[in-house]
Amino acid sequence: MSRALVLGGGGPVGIAWESGLVAGLAQGGVDLGQADFTMGTSAGSFVGARLALGADASSLADPILADQIPGEERRSAGAGGPPADLSTLMRLMGEAQGGLRNPADVRAEIGAFALAAQTPSEEAFIESFGRSFSTLPVDAWPERDFACTAVDAATGAFQLWTRASGVGVVRAVASSCSVPGVYPPVTLNGRRYIDGGMRSSTNADMASGHELVVVVAVRIGTAGGLLGERIAARFNEEVEVLKDGGATVAVITPDDASVDAFGTNLMDFRRRPDAARAGLAQGRAYAADLRKLWN
């Protein structure tokens, strides 16, 4: 049976929760690191890359649980918090997923917003972000089948980075995590890219062709208002694409305790230890149910 793992976006808090969830599941006998294909968007690209590069799933959250947050994650998480006004980004994201305008056109507007924003330099972002993968060659890619998502800042075109793309995993993951208005667009092959979550918080339909797909969706149920409704509607469409392709789909979303641990700002790295603990508890509790499918 071919097994795929899809890890969605959710900021630094999402990284912590997904790391805890993966660790809790592994401790309960479900090692998601053994997926035949792992795909991540934004926060999920970071967690997915660590798994695909061979990190021990059962201890994935240990540094966060110990509050030993690497410096690059503090900085890339925006230790001082995101800019006060991201209302333009929120409005455009809603339009991109609302179906009233051409999504690529709206994503290009988001890209223009990202390119014009005052952020840390791209060089500083890459240097700090890359320390988690500091021993890797510039062009390194995981041996396990891994992909992550991004969006071309100029055209709004969706980009799925894979081994065949010929880029290094550090820059690919950084591009997937480049939240417009918070972090700089990342240059690959002469073009600049932003967060893959501008297309979808999970991009789960990109995992078509596998018999079992486990989708970890951080933002489903956590984003409110019209944007939250549109995120959920888009996600449901992606799940139907997977099912229509013959896949069994297992969806994991944050439970109530996890949502409480998140707080109101998924970019607040101070919430990470609590989010990791909540994910760990949820993973342990859910392992028995998922084990029947995964194993």
Separation CA 33–CA 5 (nearest Å): 8
Contacts of 119 (CB under 8 A, 6+ apart): 125, 181, 182, 183, 184
pLDDT computed for residue 80 by the predictor:
41
Is the Cα dihedral 60, 211, 200, 133 positive or negative? positive
CB of 211 closer than 8 Å to CB of 247: yes
Question: What pLDDT band is residue 83 in, cutting at 50, 70 and 90?
Answer: very low
- Range list of β-strands (E), 18-66: 37-40
Q: What is the DSSP letter of 2?
A: -
Q: Is the pLDDT of residue 74 over 70?
A: no
- Two structure tokens written together for 78: 């925006």
pLDDT computed for residue 85 by the predictor:
63
CB of 149 closer than 8 Å to CB of 199: yes
Q: How many CB atoms lie within 10 A of CB 137?
A: 10
pTM of the model: 0.93
Q: Is the pLDDT of residue 68 over 60?
A: no
pLDDT computed for residue 84 by the predictor:
42
Per-residue pLDDT tens over the stretch 85-118? 678 888 898 888 777 789 999 999 999 999 999 9
In DSSP notation, 143-182 reads SS-EEEEEEETTT--EEEE-GGG---HHHHHHHHT--TTT
Q: Is the pLDDT of residue 243 over 90?
A: yes
Per-residue pLDDT tens over the stretch 252-288? 999 999 999 999 899 898 999 999 999 999 999 999 9
Of 150-154, 207-211, 229-233, 239-243, least confident by mean pLDDT is 229-233
Give me the residue label for tokens 């919430």.
271
Q: Is the pLDDT of residue 75 over 70?
A: no
CB of 197 closer than 8 Å to CB of 235: no
Mean pLDDT, the chain, rounded, equals 91
What backbone torsions phi and psi does residue 195 show, to the nearest 5 degrees?
Answer: -45, 125
pLDDT computed for residue 161 by the predictor:
98
Q: Is the pLDDT of residue 211 over 70?
A: yes
Q: Measuring CA to CA, how many Å separate 62 from each of 22, 52, 136, 236, 272? A: 11, 18, 21, 32, 12
Question: What pLDDT band is residue 230 in, cutting at 50, 70 and 90?
Answer: confident
Axis-axis angle for helices 169-176, 43-52 (nearest 10)? 150
